[in-house]
């Protein structure tokens, strides 16, 4: 699991936030489940946020990897943040459906996700 990035929100990138989300999930569920659940959420969220079509997860050898739009490597902007929020809004209900409150509670404890308003809301984690 990668360590949580520190610094202000403006110092973060969308790629870094997505990596944090991926790593936090993969630490608990493994990369196979993480990739699949994110793919499901991406499919749903991309209708509202077409930029999410640029996020891909795929199997590479014995593990899974992801790619994000090149623009996500730049400083975090509002458009990328809105896309990530749309993604998490689709993802968290899926996680609750599959695992109850266990995974979303773990994600809710990730400080950087909380600062970026990407952490699950209290009603989801309950």
Partner 1 sequence: MNDPGTVAPIECLSSGILELDRILDGGLPARSVSVITGKPGSGKTILTLHVLFHLARQGKRCLYFTTLSEPTLKMIQYMQRFTYFDQRLLDERIVFTDLGSRARSQRPEQVLAEVSARVEREEPDLVAIDSFKALHDLLGDAASSRSFVYDLAVSMAAWGATTLLVGEYTTQDLASAPEFAIADGIIHLGTQPQERASARVLEVLKLRGANYVSGQHFFEITGAGVAVYPRARAPEVTGEASSSISERMTSGIAGLDDLLHGGVPPRSSTVVQGSTGTGKTLLGLNFLRAGVQKGERGLIFALEETPAQLRSIAAALGWDLSALEAERRLTVIYISPLELSADRFLYEARERVQTAGAQRVVLDSISSVALGVPSERRLHQFIYALTKHFRLAGVTTLLTLEVPEQFGAVQLTGHGVSSIADNVVVLRFVEVDGRLERAISVLKARGVQHETEPRRFTIGDGGMRVEGAFTGYRGILTGVPMPVTESAPRADWRKEER
Binding site for partner 1 (CB under 8 A): 1, 26-33, 61-64, 98-103, 105-106, 109
Please report how close the Cβ of residue 58 comes to partner 1 at its closest, in angstroms. Answer: 14
* Spatial separation of the C-alpha atoms in residues 31 and 116, rounded to whole Å: 23
Residues in the chain, total? 126
Identify which of residues 6 and 62 has a Cβ nearer to partner 1 in the complex.
Answer: 62
Please report how close the Cβ of residue 32 comes to partner 1 at its closest, in angstroms. Answer: 7
At a CB cut-off of 8 Å and minimum separation 6, what does 37 contact?
25, 29, 91, 94, 95, 98
Please report how close the Cβ of residue 92 comes to partner 1 at its closest, in angstroms. Answer: 15
Identify which of residues 13 and 125 has a Cβ nearer to partner 1 in the complex.
Answer: 125
Please report how close the Cβ of residue 29 comes to partner 1 at its closest, in angstroms. Answer: 5
* Spatial separation of the C-alpha atoms in residues 43 and 28, rounded to whole Å: 22
- CA dihedral (45, 8, 122, 87) in degrees, to 10, reads 10
């Amino acid at each position: 699991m990668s360590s949580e990035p520190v610094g202000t929100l403006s110092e973060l990138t969308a790629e870094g936030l997505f990596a944090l989300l991926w790593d936090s999930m993969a630490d608990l569920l493994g990369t196979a489940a993480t990739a699949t659940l994110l793919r499901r959420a991406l499919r749903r969220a991309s209708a509202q946020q077409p930029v999410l079509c640029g996020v891909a997860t795929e199997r590479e050898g014995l593990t899974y990897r992801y790619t994000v739009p090149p623009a996500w490597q730049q400083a975090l902007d509002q458009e990328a943040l809105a896309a990530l929020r749309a993604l998490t809004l689709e993802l968290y209900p899926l996680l609750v459906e599959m695992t109850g409150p266990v995974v979303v509670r773990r994600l809710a404890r990730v400080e950087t996700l909380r600062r970026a308003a990407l952490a699950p809301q209290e009603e989801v984690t309950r």
